[in-house]
Amino acid sequence: MPVSPPIVAALSGASRRYGPSIALDGVDLAVRRGELLALLGPNGAGKSTAIALCLGLLAPDAGEARLFGQPPRELAPRRRVGVMLQQAGIPDALQVRELLAQTRACYPAPRSAEECVRLAGLEGLEKRRYGRLSGGQQRRVQFALAICGNPELLFLDEPTTGLDVGARESLWLTIRAMVAGGCAVVLTTHYLEEAEALADRVVVLARGRIVASGSVAQIRSRVVQRRIRCITALDPACIGAWPEVRSVCRDGERLDIVTDEAEAVVRQLLFEDAALTELEVRRAGLAEAFAEITREAA
Amino acid sequence: MDALLAVPAGRVSRVRCQALEARSEFLRLLRAPSFAVPTLLFPPMFYLLFAIVLSHGHGGFQPGVYLLATYGVFGVMSPGLFGFGITVATDRENGWLTFKRALPMPPGAYLASKLMMAMLFATLIFTLLAVLATTLGGVRLPARAWLLLLATDIAGVLPFCAIGLFIGSALRAQSAMAVGNLIYLPMSFLSGLWIPLEGLPPVLRTIAPVWPAWHLGRIALADVGQAPGEAVWPHVAALLAVTLLFLALARRRLVRG
């Protein structure tokens, strides 16, 4: 039997309130070495609170948080962690190389400044002040600061917000390379295709509780719906009346049909319209699954 | 599991970490003209104007020496009130403080770096004033007096850093700036840093012990022989009390988050 990799960060029965509202309600979470865990959920679901507890930025009201088996407020476990928060607040007046030097000095075995610059795609910007960088460049500086300590565990809170497609994909490559090298990553994102592209495991939070957890394929298969697209002369209102069909909508010349029983619907479509063309059947993506799961939880 | 819990190889140099942190704080403020220009320019400018160009001494009062001490105090208040106050408020507001808390920085390094920044500014202000005083002002003091004054200016940032920290922990950056100014300029005047209190209405002399700047001013004046026969320790005690009070107040606010 394969031994599962050691746990690098864990919440057990962790709860946290802000005044009367519960941000996190008895959450159990374990992040293992070398895995990329995507933490998904609508705004206010508790993703940032979960990360804040793991990092010791907040103390849990109940339950506990552990980083490398130790309390997260200890210095030693945090020396093995890199962080990219949603709101960075980096002082505008400081240069990229100054920020790197300052942050690298906190870690026992940091990456070289050159490597950080290369991995984050900041070549030629070392002497630029942070405030004079574009939004995407600033985000890349934050990523460079997160990886500069050569971390074994990386928290990335919405890392690619504000990046263009090219920059996002090069960041994905770097993240994948780090995971391949044994680094664990906890990622929160609004882009479900990002979780789909990167994550080994997905945890969905809603209202402070874990409502789904598993591989991307497992999460997707929780949703039985499939989507059928085709060009047909049939009346959408008629198709909508079939018992297996959940919804029909017209998208240009195509019809878009959502159903739990794709085979039955396709058979009926071909039977009623022999001239039907451009038939496509697609399983629900993570986005549809996510919408379904969080709707159920609400 | 043992391998996992082992501390990775390599060591963190606390000194280096702290020094780089302080350097960043210093550069950050030096590159902010709205802070650096008034802080570094006003004390020497006022000194040039009132102690050298428009000076008229009488009796034991030597403007060149008196104002060297009091403009020094005026100068060292600013990095504490503004450097501390506004940067702490800004860091709290925009998330930099949260990021710093997430980093494996030794506890206390964040505040220590700002304190070092304030002391560096105090040294710069002292140096600028000392150069003006010895060259254009013709001030001659024993080496001991210079050293005492430098020590007073450097240590004197403490109570104002504590007040600045409290302001920064309680207010947003915009309001911290306004409150800083509201304290800075009136307190400087009411503490006799610009004009000796002897030349002002007696009521101002009566309330002067309320102002930390007055106590620091008296120590600085004693350093350069402008407060004959006055005991220094009550002023030191008053400033210590102010420092501890505001540190405690700021701590309460910061712990609450």
Domain boundaries, chain A: 226-297
Question: Residue-wise pLDDT tens for chain B (257 aa)?
Answer: 444 444 445 688 889 999 999 999 999 999 999 899 999 999 999 999 988 888 776 666 788 999 999 999 999 999 999 988 889 999 999 999 999 999 999 888 999 999 999 999 999 999 999 999 999 988 999 999 999 999 999 999 999 999 999 999 999 988 998 999 999 999 999 999 998 888 888 999 999 999 999 999 999 999 999 988 889 999 999 999 999 999 999 988 887 65
Structure tokens at A144: 């460079």
- For residue B108, count CB atoms less than 10 angstroms from its CB and return exposed for 0-12, middle for 13-18, buried for 19 or more: exposed
| Residue A276: Cβ within 10 Å count | 17
Residue whose tokens read 């190889």: B9
Q: B-chain residues within 8 Å CB-CB of A56?
A: 101-102
Structure tokens at A77: 């476990």
Residues for chain B: how many in total?
257
- Class of domain A226-297 as given by CATH: alpha beta
State the nearest Cα–Cα gap between A107 and chain B, in angstroms: 6
The whole-angstrom separation of Cα A53 and Cα B218 is: 49
A286 and A216 in contact (C-beta within 8 Å)?
yes
Task: Name which of B12, B14, B17 to mutate to probe chain A: the one with the most chain A Cβ atoms within 10 A of its Cβ.
Answer: B12
A265 and A247 in contact (C-beta within 8 Å)?
no
Cite the DSSP H helix spans in A105-215. 113-120, 135-147, 165-180, 192-198
Cα–Cα distances in angstroms (integers) from residue A48 to residues A188, A208, A290, B91, B208, in the given order: 8, 10, 18, 19, 49
A255 and A249 in contact (C-beta within 8 Å)?
yes
A93 and A49 in contact (C-beta within 8 Å)?
no
Task: Name which of A18, A31, A102 to mutate to probe chain B: the one with the most chain B Cβ atoms within 10 A of its Cβ.
Answer: A102
Structure tokens at B250: 């700021």
Residue type, A41: G
Contact (CB<8Å) B12/A107: yes
pTM of this prediction exceeds 0.95: no
State the nearest Cα–Cα gap between B1 and chain A, in angstroms: 7
ipTM: 0.87
Q: Where are the domains of chain B?
A: 31-256
Taking alpha carbons only, the member of B117, B109, B103 closest to residue B16 is: B109
